[in-house]
Structure 1
Amino acid sequence: MNNLAATFMENLIFVLEFLGLVAAMVIIAYVVEKLEKKKNGVKERTLTTRKIAMIGVFSAIAAVLHVMDFPIPFAPDFYKLDFSELPALIGAFAFGPVAAVMIEFCKIVLKLLFKGTSTAFVGDLANFIIGCTFLLPASIIYLFRKNKKNAVIGCVVGTLVMTIFGTAFNAVYLLPKFAELYGLPLDSIIEMGHVINPAINSVNTLVVFAVAPMNILKGGIVSIVTMLIYKKISPILHNTK
């Protein structure tokens, strides 16, 4: 009974931490958008009815792509690659940082409703937070000057921030938390990586040889596809000819 209560409290604390990080991402995005609107004298609400509707559409597409994740050959099986940040980045460029964070959060909620979690929610937190570290820099840079050059710069910066933050966050918090909540010794997780790549023999080498290249790959592919299609679909998203 005591073990059950302890497990419940651990999961409750983790969920509260998750929600706290969600709130922090929303606040950062909201403050940046308000500053940009104030600078340009724009009085439009941050979330209009049209924006909310489009956030719903992009969240649904992102959730489908998230469910269609797949393992990668250079990382343990619990690391999965997906391209759900693609609709989120398009939504971020079209509607701003707040929309980006809301798409990411709604995507995770929809994924949990339809598929559940296989990583004691740690993977879901990782996907949200690390996704936001890609989307927020990219959308904020593009927000203040909307041109192709800034879009490219934003994508490059976003990919770098996601890679650096994702690597550190996995090493310091996510992997130890996954081991704690899933009841799997950290040494066993490292051994999974070692079987795939003999150079992996610690938490640091695991994140360097598995997490970092995965985030670079994801950021690069999502950025390239967005650059190729955004200009073509932008008039549709903004309801202009």
Structure 2
Amino acid sequence: MSQMTSARRRVNTRALTVTAMFSAVAFVLMFLEFSIPVVIPSFVKMDVSELPALLAAFGLGPVYGVVVCLVKNLLHLLVTTTGGAGELGNFLLGACFILPAGLIYHMHKSRKNAIIGALVGAVIMALMSIPLNYYITYPVYSNFMPIDAILGMYQELRPSTNSLLECLMIFNAPFTLAKGLIDAALCFLIYKPLSPIIHGRR
């Protein structure tokens, strides 16, 4: 019994250590953001900070992946310029992506299920980006930049756009989907080399 308890403690300690490591990497990746002004206004940035969370969800479990999303945004609150709204939106969208991806994969661990989980998670995140941005993120941004100015930036790309909801559906949702797919593709590329670190194997 004591050996089993000791083994569980080692597993839990490793899981927490890996989760902390992934959270730190995710926090750093949040700063490596860039704009793609040809396809979406420049204030909407692309980053791959959900990648460590997806690795944690597949390697350790969906809860650990969500914890990575939470911790990176709690750390980012120390340097926030959005009053916490950006971090809240980022966490909720990340959870919408990571949780279903991890749950589907852990129902039956296979490469096929990992791909299905990542695709489902990316689609859910893209769909949820519409209400989350509409009711949480953009109302706060409007305190720093008038809605008319925000719409104007979208209209530079598509002059017929005339409402925030339309902007979120036409621009933000596909952009968010692409972001999730990029995270998933990178995850599949590097998961195997990182597997020994995640699972504590030599």
Range of TM-score over shorter length? 0.7 to 0.9
Distance 2:87 2:154 in 1: 20
Q: Identity of paired residues, percent?
A: 39
For residues 69-105 of structure 1, the C-alpha deviation after alignment (integer angstroms, 9 at most, x for no partner) is 1122122333111100111100111111221111111
- The 10-residue stretch of structure 1 (167-176 or 97-106) with the greater mean CA deviation from structure 2: 167-176
1:56 offset after TM fit, Å?
0.9
> 1:106-121 maps to which residues of 2 (within 5 A)?
106-113=71-78, 116-121=79-84
The answer to whether residue 191 in structure 2 is matched with residue 227 in structure 1 is: no
By how many angstroms is 1:233 displaced? 2.0
**TM-score between the two structures when normalised by the length of structure 1:** 0.74
Q: Indicate the residue corresponding to 1:63 in structure 2.
A: 27
Are 1:86 and 2:51 matched, yes or no?
yes
Q: Tell whether the 8 Å contact from 1:120 to 1:178 is kept in structure 2 after alignment.
A: no
Q: Once the 2 structures are TM-superposed, how far is the Cα of residue 186 of structure 1 from its aligned partner?
A: 2.1
Residue deviations 1:131-178, cap 9 Å, x none?
Answer: 110000100111121110110000010011001111232224432243
**SS at structure 2 position matched to 1:48:** helix
Instruction: Find 2:96's aligned residue among 125, 133, 144.
Output: 133
User: What residue number does 2:134 align with?
Assistant: 171
CA distance in 1, matches of 2:145, 2:189: 42
Question: Which AA in structure 2 matches 1:156?
Answer: L
SS of alignment partner, residue 101 of structure 2: helix
Q: Does 1:189 align with 2:150?
A: yes
Number of residue pairs aligned between Structure 1 and Structure 2: 194
Instruction: Check conservation: 1:86, 1:222, Cα contact below 8 A.
Output: yes
How far apart are the structure 1 equivalents of 2:160 and 2:80? 29
Distance 1:156 1:188 in 2: 34
Moved over 3 A (4+): none
- TM-score when scaled to structure 2? 0.87
Aligned residue in 2 for 1:31: none
Deviates more, 1:146-155 or 1:69-78: 69-78
Distance in 2 of aligned mates of 1:236 and 1:83:
20
CA contact (8 A) 1:67 1:111 kept: no
Where does 1:1-241 land on structure 2 (aligned, <5 Å)?
48-73=12-37, 74-113=39-78, 116-179=79-142, 182-241=143-202
RMSD: 2.0
| Partner AA of 2:22 in structure 1 | F
Q: 1:91 is paired with a residue of what secondary structure?
A: helix
For residues 91 and 145 of structure 1, the distance between their equivalents in structure 2, rounded to whole angstroms, comes to 16
For residue 196 of structure 1, give the secondary structure of its aligned residue in structure 2: coil
For residues 86-127 of structure 1, give each alpha carbon's deviation from its aligned partner in whole angstroms, at most 9, with x where no partner exists: 1110011111122111111111122233xx122232221111
Letter in 2 for 1:205: E
Which segment is superposed worse, 169-178 or 90-99?
169-178
Which structure has the higher relative contact order (CA within 8 Å, separation 6+)? 2
**What is the CA–CA distance in structure 1 between the aligned matches of 2:163 and 2:41, rounded to whole Å?**
13
